Structure 1
Amino acid sequence: MQPHEATQDEKPDIPVVSGKDAGKIARAAFVGTALEWYDYFLFGTAAAIVFNRLFFTELDPTAATLAAFATFGVGFAARPIGAVLFGYIGDRVGRRPALLITIVMIGVATGLIGFLPDFGSIGLAAPIMLAVLRLMQGLAVGGEWGGAMTIAVEHAPIEKRGRYAALVQVGSPVGTLMSSGAFALVLLLPSEAFDAWGWRLPFLAAFPLLLIALYIRLQVEESPIFRELVKLEERAKIPAVDVFKQAWGRLLVAIAAAFLGVGGFYVMTTFVISYGTTTLGMDRQLMVNATLVAAVVQIGVVLLVGRISEKIGPGRMTFFGGLATAAGAFPLFWMIDTRNPAAIILAVTIGIALVSLAYAVTGALLTEMFPPHLRYSGVALGYNLAGALSGFLPLIAVALLGVSGGGSWTASLLLMAVSLITAAGGFFGEKLRVKDKAIVQ
């Protein structure tokens, strides 16, 4: 199905975008996304310092860590399925209904993790139930990011999409800050109390946060561009199928462009926390605190880069960000290997800042690579297929430590490879951008 080719004179066929509403919608999308990422990121931190000990206790330490990260990766594997499901709802029924469903799903799944008995209480059923709830998280997040980004961008004036897309991206570091902060607080408890009930508190907090997120999502209005698609009867019948049939090349480029923003982030957080505590013997509080500092810096980087991308283009920024991260891969892990607390915090902070050069503009780039009638599905599939591939990077990085005898050079090579793939995605993505027609009031 071809998108409607309206001209500026055909004003009834051109969506009206209100500049004054763009900020409100983007902020609402940001708050909801921040709360949703908080739920999702909790699992990553817990996989590194809790689940490996309490849910996989019959395995040796390395095998337990691998099993915990495999469960962590299950959520990423489920995300493309969520992208197809919620992409269908978002491109057929509406962006807003899809976002309401995703926030409820992940809030409930995360809260229930806080009630799970551990392996010592119910045996094998504990890790199985953990994997099922992680699967629910993955399905919900598979539709969340694409929908939040799509509705924010489609409410924004075209020339200012970079800043509003970046505002939604800030939900990630804020979610990291909230989840890492929650764990930093409960880690202050005595070890026995932390293992018995302390680690559950951040997960149980998902229930009251869900009420906040749901209230915020109910204030979000439907996209004017989607309303125009309904009026013109231009909605795809099965959006995901049409993406693979009509826009498979764009989808491959979108996956490459999003790869570093997801994969690099988890290498510099989830894997580094595990590497620092298990291999280097560093205090887990230090490793979690490093992610807190990095998240604060990331917020500023994302907002600044979003503005810059409006001048040079999100594809070019992705290209430069990929090259910069590749150049820093080995120096970052050399700093971590010093075991110096200040060097570790600095390395994690710089690493996240470099990854954010590409991550900040992922939303702006992907939304402009797909036409409106395929946008929700295309953006969600591109981002979440990248997530499915990169979600297992911490697992791969841990496994490669055995090859290197505990040396970090394999992790550095892995980060470099991911960065170069994203640089290529940015280079080609800039050439594939399409512009919507809209009237700004």
Structure 2
Amino acid sequence: MAEPAGPVTVNDADARKVAFGAFVGTALEWYDFFLFGTAASLVFNHLFFASDDPVVATAGAFASFAVGFAARPLGAILFGHLGDRIGRRTCLIITVALIGFVTGVIGLLPTYFSIGVAAPVLLTLLRLLQGVAVGGEWGGAVTLAVEHAPKEHRGRYAAMPQIGSPIGTLLSSGAFLAVSLLPPESFNSWGWRLPFLAAFPLLGIALWIRRRVEESPLFEQLLREDELARSPVTEVFRRAFPQLLVGAGSTLLGVGGFYLSTTFVISYGTEYLGVDSSVLLSGTLVAAGVEIVVLLVGGRLAERHGPGRVTVVGGLVSALVAFPAFWLIDTASTTLVILGVTLAVACLSLPYAVSGALLTDLFPARLRYSGVALSANIASVISGFVPLVATALLAVSGGRSWTPALLLVVIALITAGSGALAPRLSLGHDEVVTG
């Protein structure tokens, strides 16, 4: 797995431009993807998976939610191969176009009460296409940002695409919070569609930004020197399988823990605790604002202490606060519910902040898009089922929150252990010099 023979010159000015482009495009993609999670908790269970049993309806909505995550490895394989063969930039333009179009179409779908069982089937198929697009998005955005960055500043630039996640949360939760103020009849008939339809104009913005982003200098050198992997996905499984597993474990908390603390908690709070949905959406908004700060700090900490150590600390702290966070949520007090959600998200955001730097260190440039995308999306497959598993555990425990809290502890410890192993397995040794 040879690297480019000579050093590649990069500088902070170019790195900032590319990282910003990766961030904006990723924020718009996560807005689209997160809309589905929020709607699964508040809308799809009633309008697309109608049932007299609220648990069955919620389980159906979360199952469709999970399909998007199950499809993400397909996107990782497809776009990982293309990203390591034809370039990172081209793939990122395709992924943002696909997810924007699909999300807009969801806003046009008729409900179960109009077309019957065809409604949840079509919704699930569109969610599958969302998953394929997102499966190729994040790995490419992080790879492009890192490969444009000076090595000593990779932590901060690798964190930029991560900031797209809380921005996407703010946009999606804010959009649903705004339309949830409509009368229930208006919200259920057309109000919930507005955030999805907004994806169409946002798609134009995303495409304009992505077309201005330049290709990775490391990829261009690999292309010139004919060092591209013939079958990058196959090579990742054959030559970097331990790195793949560790990478997946290191990202599990940032994705699965996040959906447990937000998507599941929204459903749990409304269905079991009787908390108004606006309170829970407000909690996700506050948590997303705090997460941005944690991500910025985490990127700098990665440069100083290494992403592996930061991942370990973030995993252990998240395990310690899991039960206290749910105890706060269980009070059903507006202030304490928001505090509980914010506390959980803030702690798990620390390993999420450095996951880009950690994963890109694990894989060499010729396999990086595939390796990063596969690692993140193996974790995402598991993560997509976390709200569903948490719902099942909650039913088993009679609606008591100790079971989802314990699930969060397990996820956090897996990430902490993976962070401890990651520095020993690094294969990414790109030669870069600051221009």
Normalised-by-shorter TM-score class: over 0.9
- Partner SS, residue 439 of structure 1: strand
Matched, 1:135 2:122: no
Matches of residues 393-432 of structure 1 in structure 2 within 5 Å? Answer: 393-432=386-425
- Partner SS, residue 156 of structure 1: coil
Aligned to 2:311: 318
Matched, 1:381 2:374: yes
The CA deviation at 1:156 is 0.3
What amino acid sits opposite 2:102 in the alignment? A
Native 8 Å contact 1:102 1:143 kept in 2? yes
The CA deviation at 1:58 is 3.3
Aligned to 1:9: none
Distance in 1 separating the partners of 2:313 and 2:181: 40
Aligned to 1:437: 431
The CA deviation at 1:440 is 1.5
Aligned to 2:2: 3
Distance in 1 separating the partners of 2:4 and 2:265: 49
Aligned to 1:122: 115
- Partner SS, residue 110 of structure 2: coil
Distance in 1 separating the partners of 2:394 and 2:221: 53
Aligned to 1:206: 199
The CA deviation at 1:360 is 0.3
Distance in 2 separating the partners of 1:78 and 1:97: 21
Matched, 1:81 2:80: no
Matches of residues 170-185 of structure 1 in structure 2 within 5 Å? Answer: 170-185=163-178
Matches of residues 239-388 of structure 1 in structure 2 within 5 Å? Answer: 239-388=232-381
Where structure 2 has 5 or more consecutive residues not aligned to the other structure, the ranges are none
The CA deviation at 1:20 is 1.5
Match for 2:15 among 6, 14, 22? 22
Aligned to 1:99: 92
What amino acid sits opposite 1:168 in the alignment? P
- Partner SS, residue 419 of structure 1: helix
Matched, 1:238 2:224: no
Q: Deviations over 1:207-236 (max 9, x none)?
A: 000000000000000000000110111111
Q: Deviations over 1:299-355 (max 9, x none)?
A: 011001111110000010001100000011111101111111100000101111001
Distance in 2 separating the partners of 1:126 and 1:232: 51
The CA deviation at 1:5 is 6.5
Distance in 2 separating the partners of 1:243 and 1:59: 47
- Partner SS, residue 362 of structure 2: coil
Matched, 1:31 2:30: no
Distance in 1 separating the partners of 2:87 and 2:327: 48
CA RMSD of aligned residues (A): 0.8
What stretches of structure 1 move > 4 A for 4+ residues in a row?
Answer: none
Native 8 Å contact 2:155 2:357 kept in 1? yes
Native 8 Å contact 1:309 1:361 kept in 2? yes
Aligned residues: 434
- Partner SS, residue 399 of structure 2: coil
Identity %: 59
Quick one: structure 1 residues 297 and 239, their matched pair in 2 at CA, closer, same or farther if it must change by over 3 Å? same
Distance in 2 separating the partners of 1:355 and 1:54: 32
Distance in 2 separating the partners of 1:4 and 1:349: 42
Distance in 2 separating the partners of 1:71 and 1:322: 28
The CA deviation at 1:389 is 0.9
What amino acid sits opposite 1:3 in the alignment? A
The CA deviation at 1:59 is 4.8
The CA deviation at 1:19 is 2.4
Q: Deviations over 1:376-423 (max 9, x none)?
A: 000000001100111100000001111100000000110000000000
What amino acid sits opposite 1:229 in the alignment? L
Native 8 Å contact 2:4 2:221 kept in 1? no
Native 8 Å contact 1:103 1:210 kept in 2? yes
- Partner SS, residue 16 of structure 1: strand
Native 8 Å contact 1:180 1:292 kept in 2? yes
Where structure 1 has 5 or more consecutive residues not aligned to the other structure, the ranges are 7-12
The CA deviation at 1:16 is 1.8
What amino acid sits opposite 2:15 in the alignment? A
Quick one: structure 1 residues 59 and 143, their matched pair in 2 at CA, closer, same or farther if it must change by over 3 Å? farther
TM-score normalised per structure 1: 0.97
- Partner SS, residue 413 of structure 2: helix
TM-score normalised per structure 2: 0.99
